[in-house]
């Protein structure tokens, strides 16, 4: 309570919660408390004024509460009990009370004489002493002249020096002039034609960067407009300074229609970057959109970018898919013991191309929409019933990996029937398409590499005679193996949610089994078919435990794998299809064994460089 009494003592007023009364008291005290005369007293007055103005609502609430408590606690007048007196006593009491004039009360009923009778001329009272010789000046006009002087000095001194020199004006010590000056600055910052440097200096000098609630109570629209333009400039400078981080920014800032960039919009990567940029500007830099950009033009860009579905990459993928379907059909026909003639090859090629373009165009344009809605609803229902798929996305990959392993093992059957060969080749084609569909984002940019490598391997595996595999079988088989290697390199084991603590034991078990299988393949040629099938399946399982690094810097030793496999199969009789698959199983087991040992060596080096790890 002592600090509160000293506060009102400094301001020279009674405790109050009225802001206008606090301002009047402060303005009155400013006339006798000058900073040049007594800086300490002026600072004390300024601190008291700011504190009282800031806590005025709380003071008003406390004063109102204390007033209510006082009214409740005030004593209520209780009427004295009336004592009945005899009639004679009442008459006697009335006779004994003296008249009013005996109590010292003189009733002056004589009117005062008129003023002119006394020789006095009626004149208005003189003004208070402090108003003698003072010319009243409008605070708004004085603040406007000070602000105009600041604008005049802007060209000669610059923004910050001009504003600093203006704020030293003694007239701004008056509260009413200071408020009008800040209002002039606020109107300037809220207008369109303003100097950015001066606006930033005003925000910094007047403290508007952190708090402008005082002005917002009386000038809300001006404050919103000024702050909106301030943030728009800040966002604009952010994009200018970090434009290299926002691809396509120059296209949006050019203020040209989307038709001027039709060729760039056909690129899928560029369009996706524009989508992210437009979304960022719309929802994170709305002030810049409202003040710096043409909203109608921006909306045209949004419509053009977000409605774009078919791209140049879509056409290229359609052509690649058409060729893949043609080769699949040719491989299945070759397995069936037939050959496509010249006319049949052309019909197959053009028909597969048309089918591929139609399928990818339907996927890109989402037509028919009802079918896609049903598929989306089926996916949502599946996610609700199987929530484990959300936390373990790798489990979806097992939908094509496990069938691929079983179908591939059918190729080890000695002398399969033609019907089984056709069914196996068709199943491998379907599994290759499923592997591509499930890993489209992973194969983005690597699709040509994967197809080229699988085609090269299929030529190596598709020789002549009984030992040759059909190109459809071999190409689809190698393509699925390559997709499996790329997927496991991204941590398929962890994506399936299997325990990480079991990995060292699983790797050790797999390395031991692979070594035993390769040794048995060299020592037991009689059961080479069974051992080859086991090695193939064991190699596919081993890919889950160790990532494959297909960079040439680390994968070049794999060129020795075919030679080592030929050495292990030196005692085998060639000339059968199963011999090719046995050799493929041995090569695949050697490749996975090499990548596993390479991964273990890297883990060992990492543990040696980090103290406390084994």
3-class secondary-structure state, position 345? helix
Tens digit of each residue's pLDDT (9 = 90 or more) over 415-437? 778 888 899 999 999 999 999 98
Q: Which of 63-77, 116-130, 482-496, 584-598 has the lowest mean pLDDT?
A: 116-130
* Residue 502 pLDDT class (50, 70, 90 cuts): very high
pLDDT band at 219 (very low <50, low <70, confident <90, very high): confident
pLDDT bucket at 465, cuts 50 / 70 / 90: low
Chain-centre distance for alpha carbon 91: 98
Cβ proximity of 272 and 311 under 8 Å: no
Predicted confidence at residue 6, as pLDDT, reads 64
When pLDDT is cut at 50, 70 and 90, the band that residue 73 belongs to is low
Neighbours of 470 (CB within 10 A): 24
Asked whether residue 464 carries a pLDDT value surpassing 80, the answer given is: no
- Looking at per-residue pLDDT, the higher value among 309 and 131 belongs to 309
CB 488 within 8 A of CB 481: no
Q: Could you give the residue ranges of the DSSP H alpha helices within 366-446?
A: 369-385, 388-391, 398-409, 418-438
Does the pLDDT of residue 224 top 90, yes or no? no
- Give me the pLDDT at residue 587, please: 93
- CA dihedral (224, 225, 228, 229) positive or negative: negative
Q: Evaluate if residue 347 carries a pLDDT over 80.
A: yes
Per-residue pLDDT for 592 more than 90? yes
Q: Is the dihedral of CA 313, 318, 323, 327 positive or negative?
A: positive
Q: Would you state the pLDDT for residue 223?
A: 85
> What pTM does this model have?
0.63
pLDDT for 3 equals 41
pLDDT of residue 279: 93
pLDDT value at residue 109: 45
Residue-level pLDDT at 590: 95
* pLDDT at residue 569, as a whole number: 86
In this prediction, residues 8-16 reach a mean pLDDT of 85
Q: Give the confidence band of 84 by pLDDT, cuts at 50, 70, 90.
A: very low
pLDDT of residue 305 exceeding 50, the answer is: yes
**Cα–Cα distance, 339 to 463 (Å, whole number):** 16
pLDDT at 534 over 90: yes
- Mean pLDDT along residues 547-557: 89
- Mean pLDDT calculated for residue range 5-29: 81
Specify the 3-state DSSP secondary structure of 13.
coil
What integer is the mean pLDDT of 375-383? 87
Q: Is the pLDDT of residue 11 over 50?
A: yes
Sign of the CA dihedral 447, 449, 453, 456? positive
Could you give the angle at which helices 19-30 and 175-190 cross, rounded to 10 degrees?
120
Per-residue b or e along 86-103, where b marks 16 or more CB atoms closer than 10 Å to that residue's CB? eeeeeeeeeeeeeeeeee
pLDDT score of 208 more than 90: no
- pLDDT computed for residue 53 by the predictor: 82
The whole-number average pLDDT for the span 589-602 is 94
pLDDT score, position 611: 57
Residue predicted with more confidence, 423 or 40: 423
Structure tokens, 419: 């019907």
> What digits encode the pLDDT tens for the residues 244-264?
889 899 999 888 999 999 999
* DSSP structure class, residue 34: -
Instruction: Look at residue 90 and tell me whether its pLDDT is greater than 90.
Output: no
The answer, yes or no, to whether residue 98 has pLDDT greater than 70, is no
Whether the CB-CB separation of 213 and 196 falls below 8 Å is answered with: no
CA atoms of 410 and 533, how far apart (whole Å): 9
Mean pLDDT of 381-408: 89
Higher pLDDT, 113 or 205: 205
User: How large is the average pLDDT for residues 502-526?
Assistant: 92
> Greater confidence, 279 or 110?
279
Q: Above pLDDT 70, what percent of the chain?
A: 84
> What percentage of the chain carries pLDDT values higher than 90?
34
Q: Which of 471, 504, 485 is nearest to 600 (CA)?
A: 504
Q: Any idea of the CA torsion for 358, 364, 368, 374, to the nearest 10 degrees? A: 120
- State the average pLDDT over residues 439-465: 76
User: What pLDDT shows up at residue 87?
Assistant: 38
3-state secondary structure 121-163: CCCCCCCCHHHCCCCCCCHHHHHHHHHHHHHHCHHHHCHHHHH
Q: Is the pLDDT of residue 103 over 70?
A: no
pLDDT range class, residue 70, cuts 50, 70, 90:
low
pLDDT higher than threshold 70 for residue 40: yes
Higher pLDDT: 216 or 387? It is 387
Backbone dihedral angles phi then psi of residue 121, each to the nearest 5 degrees:
-95, 130
How many helical (H) and strand (E) elements, i.e. helices and strands, does the chain have?
31, 0
Supply the pLDDT for residue 614.
Answer: 46
Average predicted confidence (pLDDT) for the chain: 82
Backbone angles phi, psi at 441, to 5 degrees: -65, -35
Over residues 302-328, mean pLDDT:
91
């Amino acid at each position: 309570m002592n600090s509160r009494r000293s506060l009102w003592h400094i301001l020279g007023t009674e405790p109050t919660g009225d802001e206008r009364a606090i301002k009047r008291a402060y303005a009155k005290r400013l006339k006798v408390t000058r900073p040049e005369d007594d800086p300490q007293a002026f600072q004390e007055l300024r601190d008291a004024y700011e504190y009282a103005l800031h806590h005025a609502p709380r003071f008003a609430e406390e004063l109102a509460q204390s007033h209510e408590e006082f009214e409740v606690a005030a004593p209520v007048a209780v009427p004295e009990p009336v004592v009945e007196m005899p009639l004679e006593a009442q008459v006697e009491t009335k006779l004994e009370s003296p008249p009013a004039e005996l109590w010292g009360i003189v009733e002056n009923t004589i009117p005062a004489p008129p003023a002119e009778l006394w020789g006095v001329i009626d004149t208005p009272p003189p003004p208070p002493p402090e108003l003698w010789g003072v010319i009243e000046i409008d605070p708004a006009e004085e603040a406007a002249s000070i602000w105009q002087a600041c604008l005049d000095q802007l060209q000669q001194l610059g923004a910050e020096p001009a504003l600093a020199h203006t704020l030293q004006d003694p007239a701004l010590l008056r509260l009413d002039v200071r408020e009008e000056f800040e209002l002039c600055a606020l109107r300037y910052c809220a207008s369109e034609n303003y100097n950015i440097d001066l606006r930033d200096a005003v925000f910094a000098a007047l403290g508007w960067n952190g708090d402008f609630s005082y002005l917002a109570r009386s000038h809300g629209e001006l404050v919103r407009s000024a702050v909106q333009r301030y943030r728009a400039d800040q966002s604009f400078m952010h994009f200018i300074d970090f434009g290299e981080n926002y691809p396509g920014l120059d296209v949006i800032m050019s203020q040209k229609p989307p038709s001027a960039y039709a060729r760039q919009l056909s690129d899928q990567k560029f369009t996706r970057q524009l989508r992210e940029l437009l979304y960022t500007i719309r929802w994170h830099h709305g002030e810049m959109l409202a003040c710096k950009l043409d909203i109608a033009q921006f909306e045209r860009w949004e419509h053009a970018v977000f409605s774009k579905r078919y791209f140049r990459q879509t056409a290229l993928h359609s052509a690649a898919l058409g060729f893949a379907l043609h080769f699949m059909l040719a491989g299945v026909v070759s397995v069936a013991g037939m050959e496509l003639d010249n006319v049949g090859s052309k019909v197959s090629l053009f028909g597969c191309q048309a089918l591929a373009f139609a399928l990818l165009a339907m996927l890109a344009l989402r037509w028919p929409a009802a079918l896609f809605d049903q598929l989306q609803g089926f996916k949502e229902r599946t996610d609700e019933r199987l929530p484990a798929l959300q936390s373990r996305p790798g489990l979806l990959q097992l939908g094509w990996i496990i069938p691929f392993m079983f179908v591939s093992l059918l190729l080890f059957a000695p002398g399969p029937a033609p019907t089984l060969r056709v069914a196996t080749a068709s199943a491998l084609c379907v599994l290759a398409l499923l592997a591509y569909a499930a890993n489209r984002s992973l194969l983005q940019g690597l699709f040509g590499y994967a197809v080229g490598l699988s085609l090269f391997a299929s030529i190596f595996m598709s020789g002549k005679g009984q030992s040759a595999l059909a190109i459809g079988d071999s190409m689809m088989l190698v393509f699925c193996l390559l997709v499996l290697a790329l997927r496991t390199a991204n941590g398929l084991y962890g994506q399936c949610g299997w325990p990480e603590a079991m990995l060292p034991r699983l790797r050790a078990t797999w390395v031991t089994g692979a070594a035993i299988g390769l040794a048995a393949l060299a020592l037991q040629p009689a059961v080479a078919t069974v051992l080859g099938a086991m090695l193939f399946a064991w190699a596919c399982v081993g890919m889950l435990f160790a990532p494959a690094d297909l960079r040439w810097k680390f994968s070049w030793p794999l060129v020795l794998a075919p030679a080592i496999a030929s050495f292990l199969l030196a005692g085998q009789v060639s000339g059968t299809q199963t011999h090719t698959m046995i050799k493929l199983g041995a090569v695949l087991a050697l490749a996975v064994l090499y990548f596993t040992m390479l991964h273990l060596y890297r883990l060992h080096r990492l543990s040696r460089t980090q103290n406390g790890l084994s």
